[in-house]
Amino acid sequence: MADPEVPTPNVSKGASPPATAIATTSTSTAPSTSDSKAALATRMARFKALQSQKESGRRQTEAELRAAEDRPQRLAQLAKLQAANEKASYKLLKSDDPDFERKRNWDYTVEESESWDKRQAKKSRNRDNVSFADFRGEANKVYKRQVKQLGEKDMEEYAREKGERLQRQVRMGLLRLVEEGDEVFTVDSDGRINTPVEELYGHDHQPSKEAVDKLVEDLEKGERARLKARAARGIKDDGGDVTYINDKNKQFNEKLSRFYNRYTTEIRESFERGTAI
């Protein structure tokens, strides 16, 4: 026996959907709308937190920059206040006790007092030698400054080089090797002990890489100092030959070059070649 057919409602195109379909659609779209609102709220909260972190970081960075910029000034002011405090304390103690200087010197030994007097005398001599006196004195000051900048000599390396030099001169016959008991030393023709003989400079000496680098650094430092001094005097270094003694003389020489270089080119080249008559 066949099943009875279920009648299907005829819905035309212009007719509205049934109420059951509308209810089903509304119940399915409600949870999705609430989820999207919650996600948006979460994103906004996170965005505001990031903005607050950025603002706090910016303020902290600005505060650190201001503190770093003001640090030298604060340190200078602090040092100035400390020096003024020490000076005021010294004056107060000195005014209260007339023998303050003598009593304070009781804490120093004789060696420390003599060393202090030598330092003060050396400072006064250095202050007196700051001004230009003559070229000999200026060269002496430059020499002492360069010797001081050399630093301490490696005594072990010096002893090794001296020993090698003494052995070489003994083999060459320039020195005489003497043995007295457990002691072994060299003697030269003048009777000097363990003193190398002055030799003519040989071209077999190979300086170390550190020595070469130090020489190059000293030369570059001197060149920088020269350029800095010239710039302080308002002299521009054009890299050419210096044929003038001051700015006016330089301008005059440039004017002569503009007018007469085309006539004197051959003569100057002859002088440079050494073929001028």
What is the arithmetic mean of pLDDT over 130-145? Answer: 81
Largest CA distance in the chain: 149
Give pLDDT, residue 22. Answer: 47
Give pLDDT, residue 252. Answer: 92
| Least confident interval from 56-60, 85-89, 151-155, 257-261 | 151-155
pTM of structure: 0.36
Of 204, 200, 203, 194, the closest CA to residue 170 belongs to 194
| Cβ(105)–Cβ(113) below 8 Å | yes
| Cβ(163)–Cβ(156) below 8 Å | no
* Band of pLDDT at residue 124, cut at 50, 70 and 90: confident
